[in-house]
Structure 1
Amino acid sequence: MKKSKLSQITVRRRARSSGEELPERPPAKQQRYPGILFAYGAYPTKLRVNIYSKSHVIGYVAAALKGTDAMDTLMASQFRGMFQLPVVRCQNSTKLIGCLLSRQHVTARRHEFWFTFGPDPLRFSLDEFRDVTGLKCGAFDVKDSEASESVPPTMWNKLFDTAVGKLTVLSVLHMLGNEYLAVEKRLPLALIALVDGVLCPSNKDLKLTPRYVEMLSDVKSFLAYPWGRELFLTTVPRFLPPLVV
C-alpha cells in the first residue's frame, strides 16, 4: 500500500527536526557521573531536620515598620527579596530535604553540591543561591574577614539595656512593636532581627550574635555586606554527614 504524500512529508519533517533539536549526548543511563555519597538502597532513615530560621520574623518586621523610612530603606536594599517571598507557601519538607541530601554526588569543588534529581543531576552552588535569594554573594572585604569576635560591645550598649548575649530575636520584635521606640533604633533592630532570625540563626532560641550587632555601628556597611555568602557558607557544612570518630 502506497503511503500518502502528506504522511511522507510528515515523516521527513519529524526526522529532520528531531535530528536538529535533540542535544547530542548519550542517554542518561550511559552518562558517567561522579560517585554518590550513599549506595543505592542504603540511604539513612529517620531523618531529622533542625531548621532554626523563622519566616514569620519577616512579617513582624514588615508590620512594625509599615510606612516608615526604615521600611523604604530595607526595600531598596538586598533584603528586598525577603519581603517578596510567599511565606505562607514556604513549607519545609523533611522527606524532600532528606531525599536530596542522601543523593549527593561526591564532587571536588568545596562549595558546590550535586544531587540526583530524576534523570539529571541538580546543582546547588553560590550562583543558584544568589539567583533565588537576591542577596549579595560577593567576596568578603578584608576588614570583615579579619574582624575580631571580641570587639567591645559599643553598639550593643546603645541598643539594649542588658548584658551581651542575653537577648533573643523575640525580644527585638517586642521592641520594634513599641510605638515609642526611638526612630534611629528601628532600622538597626529590624536588620538584626532579619539576620539572626531568618538568614543566619545559630541556635533554636534565636539569641542575637554579638558580632552582627556590633556591625550595626555602620548601617551602610551592614546593608552592603555579602549576607548571601555568609548564609551560604553557614549552610554548606550542614549538608554533610556528621564525622565518624
Structure 2
Amino acid sequence: MTTRRRRPGKEHVGEEDKPGGRPDERLPERLFATDRYPSRRLNVYSSLNFLVAVKDVLRGTPEMDRIMGSCFGKLFELPVHRCSYPSVMIHTLLARQLVTKKRYEAWPVFGGNPLRFPMVEFGRVTGLPCGEFEEGYVVEMKPKYKEEDYAYWDKLFDSRRDIMIPDVVQMVTEDLTISRSRRLKLCLIIIVDGVLIASTHPARPTLKHVKRVENLKNFLAFQWGRESFYWTATDMIPPKRVMGVCDDPPGEFCTKLRQKTKKMTGLPLALQLVAYECIPQLLARLGGNDDLKIIDCESLPQHTGLNLVDVLEAEHHSELTVQPMMEIGPNKPDGWGELDDEIHDRRMKNMVRLIEDGHNFTKSMWRGGDAAEDLYDHEKHKAANKRKRQRRVSTYFRRPTLVDDDKYDELVARFDALEKVVVWMNKRLGRRKRTGVTPRKEIFCSGGRVKEKKKNSAGAAEVEEQRDKTKSPIVKDVGEDVSVDVDDVGIGNEKLPAESEDVEAEEEEDSEDSVGEDVESEDDEEEEDGEFSGGEDVEAED
C-alpha cells in the first residue's frame, strides 16, 4: 500500500474559504485551488497563417477544390474572430482543470462548472476525422529513421534535409516551375506539420508524413484528427507518473504553468473553440460575428482576442452558463472519438453521472489544489479598480487645504503673476495680427534705431576702430549713428547698443497709434538706410 505525497504549496481549502457547503469527496481534486490561479502565457507552435498561405497559393485551382472537399476543408471555414491567438485564453483554462487519471481528457472548471475536452469535442469543432487508426499504426513521438527512408524526402524537397515549413511556403509561392501535383503535396505538408501537428518551433516537416503524402489517396483518408489530438492532449494534462522520473505529475505540471511561457504542440486552438461554443459569456465578451471565414480573409487579424480581464469578467458573470459536454453527432463510425488505452476513473464517472442528472455545480464543491497563488476576490478587485479610476481623476482637482497657508499664498502669488503675463502676451499677439507688425519691424519703426556696420571678424573690427582714431570720420556729416545690418537686429540680440533699452520700453507700451505711425515711416527709413549704406561703401572703396 502506498501513500500519496502532498506536493509543495498544496493546501486543502476548508469551509472558511468556500462558503456554501463542504467539498464533495466524490469529485476529483483541482490542479490549482479555487480562485488561486497563475496568469502566464503559452508558446503555441501551431499557426493558422499557414492556412492563409495555402489558400493564396492554390486560389481558384482544382487542387484547392480537392482540399476543400477533404477532411481539411472545415479548417478553412473557421470564423476568423474565433481564431485569435489563444495564449492567455488556453492558459486560464488549463490552470482551472481537474486532476484525473484520464490520459486523453482535460476537464477545466469554469466558474464552478466542469467543461469536458476529449477527442469527441476536438473532432466536433475542427471537422477532422477521429476514427480508428489503420491496423498496425502507432503514434510515435520520437521515431527513429534510416537513411533509405529519406528517398522521397529528397525528391520532394530537393535534398534539403534541414528545410522548415516557412521555407516550404516560400518554395510553393515563388517557384513557378513546380508541377501541380507536387505543389499540392507540399501544401498538404504545410497544413499537417504547420497547423495540426506542429511539434517544433519553427515548424518542420515530419518524415513519416512526407512518406505518406507520396500516395495522396491514403494521405487524405488518414485519421488526422486522432493524430493531432494525441499531440495536443500531451501538453494539456499532467504527465504519467514514472517512479524516479516523474514522482509528482500534478506538481510538475503546476511548475510549468507558473513559468513565463509553456510550449504547446498539436492544435491547442481547439480548446478555445470548444470554450466559445460551450460558454456564451466568453463569446459575448469577444464580440463580432462568424461571417468572415479563413477562406475569405486576406490575412488574419493581429489582435490577441480575450485578455485575462475578459475571462475573469465572464467567469464571475451572474448569469454564467456552461455546457459541460458536446454531442458526437449522427453518422459516426464505431470507435469514433474513443481510445482503447484510456484509464477508468471512479471520481470522473461520478461527476459525469451528476452532469447527466442536471446537477447544479458550485465552487464550494471542488476541493484541493495548489494554493501558493494569492486568493482572487472579484468584488474587491472591482472596487479597487473603481477607486483607482476615481483617484486618477481627483489628482487634477487638488484642494488648497492639502498644503499649508504659506505655501498656498506663495502659489496664489505665482499664479497671479503668470496670469498677468498671459494677458500681456495675448494683447501683443492680437495687435500683431491686426497690424501685421513683427518684432523686427517694431524695432525699425520705434524711432530709436541705431545702425552699426557688420564686421566679418573680431580682427577686422579692431583695425577699423584704429583707423577711425587716426583719420577723420568718414560719415561724420551724416550723423553719429552707426549702420546695423538687418540680420543683426532681433529679439535677444546681444550686440544691440544701449539705446535698445528704450526700444524695449517702447515695445511694452500698448499704444496702437504709435505702432501705426511707425509702420507709415518704415518705407522712408528703409530708403535712408540705402543712402547710408551706399555712402559707406563709396568711402570704403576710396
3-state SS of the aligned residue for 1:123?
coil
The one of 111, 133, 142 equivalent to 2:135 is 142
Question: Match for residue 74 of structure 2?
Answer: 81
Going from structure 1 to structure 2, the CA distance change for 1:210 and 1:68 (only over 3 Å counts) comes to same
The one of 92, 95, 99 equivalent to 2:92 is 99
Task: Quote the offset at 1:30 in angstroms.
Answer: 7.9
Which structure 2 segments of 5+ residues have no match? 1-19, 240-248, 256-542
Alignment of 1:179-198 (within 5 A): 179-198=176-195
Q: How many Å separate the matches in 1 of 2:100 and 2:90?
A: 19
The one of 166, 171, 176 equivalent to 1:175 is 171
- 1:104, 1:113 within 8 Å by CA — same for their partners in 2? yes
Q: How many Å separate the matches in 2 of 1:117 and 1:224?
A: 36
Question: Match for residue 44 of structure 1?
Answer: 38
- Which residue identity does 1:44 align to in structure 2? P
Question: Match for residue 12 of structure 1?
Answer: none
Question: Match for residue 212 of structure 1?
Answer: 209
- 1:103, 1:116 within 8 Å by CA — same for their partners in 2? yes
- Which residue identity does 2:236 align to in structure 1? F
Question: Match for residue 156 of structure 1?
Answer: 153
Q: How many Å separate the matches in 2 of 1:96 and 1:124?
A: 15
Which structure 1 segments of 5+ residues have no match? 1-26
Q: TM-score, normalised by structure 1?
A: 0.79
- 1:52, 1:203 within 8 Å by CA — same for their partners in 2? yes
Q: How many Å separate the matches in 2 of 1:215 and 1:149?
A: 16
3-state SS of the aligned residue for 2:192?
helix
Question: Match for residue 8 of structure 1?
Answer: none
Q: How many Å separate the matches in 1 of 2:53 and 2:105?
A: 33
Q: How many Å separate the matches in 1 of 2:225 and 2:88?
A: 25
- Which residue identity does 2:33 align to in structure 1? A
Quick check: which has more Rg, 1 or 2?
2
Going from structure 1 to structure 2, the CA distance change for 1:107 and 1:39 (only over 3 Å counts) comes to same
Cα deviation, 1:37-81, whole Å, max 9, x if unaligned, reads 122344334x23010111111111011111222111101100001
Question: Match for residue 110 of structure 1?
Answer: 103
Q: How many Å separate the matches in 2 of 1:69 and 1:81?
A: 17
- 1:116, 1:122 within 8 Å by CA — same for their partners in 2? yes
Q: How many Å separate the matches in 1 of 2:117 and 2:82?
A: 21
Task: Quote the offset at 1:149 in angstroms.
Answer: 4.2
Task: Quote the offset at 1:84 in angstroms.
Answer: 0.9
- Which residue identity does 2:171 align to in structure 1? M
Alignment of 1:17-28 (within 5 A): none
Q: How many Å separate the matches in 1 of 2:223 and 2:80?
A: 23
3-state SS of the aligned residue for 1:162?
coil
Going from structure 1 to structure 2, the CA distance change for 1:93 and 1:195 (only over 3 Å counts) comes to closer
- Which residue identity does 2:202 align to in structure 1? D
Task: Quote the offset at 1:122 in angstroms.
Answer: 0.7
Task: Quote the offset at 1:94 in angstroms.
Answer: 3.1
Question: Match for residue 15 of structure 2?
Answer: none
- 1:149, 1:211 within 8 Å by CA — same for their partners in 2? no
Going from structure 1 to structure 2, the CA distance change for 1:240 and 1:112 (only over 3 Å counts) comes to closer
- 1:104, 1:115 within 8 Å by CA — same for their partners in 2? yes
- Which residue identity does 2:181 align to in structure 1? E
Task: Quote the offset at 1:88 in angstroms.
Answer: 5.4
Which range moved further: 57-66 or 154-163? 154-163
Task: Quote the offset at 1:135 in angstroms.
Answer: 0.3
Going from structure 1 to structure 2, the CA distance change for 1:59 and 1:28 (only over 3 Å counts) comes to farther
Question: Match for residue 218 of structure 2?
Answer: 221
Q: Are positions 1:127 and 2:120 aligned together?
A: yes
Task: Quote the offset at 1:89 in angstroms.
Answer: 4.6
- Which residue identity does 2:70 align to in structure 1? S
Q: How many Å separate the matches in 2 of 1:50 and 1:230?
A: 20
3-state SS of the aligned residue for 2:115?
strand
Going from structure 1 to structure 2, the CA distance change for 1:172 and 1:122 (only over 3 Å counts) comes to same
Cα deviation, 1:16-51, whole Å, max 9, x if unaligned, reads xxxxxxxxxxx9998763211122344334x23010
- Which residue identity does 2:32 align to in structure 1? F
3-state SS of the aligned residue for 2:116?
strand
- Which residue identity does 2:192 align to in structure 1? V
Q: Are positions 1:35 and 2:29 aligned together?
A: yes
Task: Quote the offset at 1:183 in angstroms.
Answer: 1.5
Task: Quote the offset at 1:216 in angstroms.
Answer: 1.0
Going from structure 1 to structure 2, the CA distance change for 1:224 and 1:29 (only over 3 Å counts) comes to farther
The one of 228, 235, 257 equivalent to 1:231 is 228
Question: Match for residue 428 of structure 2?
Answer: none
Question: Match for residue 72 of structure 1?
Answer: 65
Task: Quote the offset at 1:95 in angstroms.
Answer: 3.0
Task: Quote the offset at 1:240 in angstroms.
Answer: 2.9
Q: How many Å separate the matches in 1 of 2:172 and 2:81?
A: 22
3-state SS of the aligned residue for 2:44?
coil
Task: Quote the offset at 1:110 in angstroms.
Answer: 1.9
Q: How many Å separate the matches in 1 of 2:153 and 2:51?
A: 22
- Which residue identity does 1:173 align to in structure 2? V
- Which residue identity does 2:145 align to in structure 1? S
Going from structure 1 to structure 2, the CA distance change for 1:81 and 1:149 (only over 3 Å counts) comes to farther
Identity %: 38
Q: How many Å separate the matches in 1 of 2:223 and 2:75?
A: 15
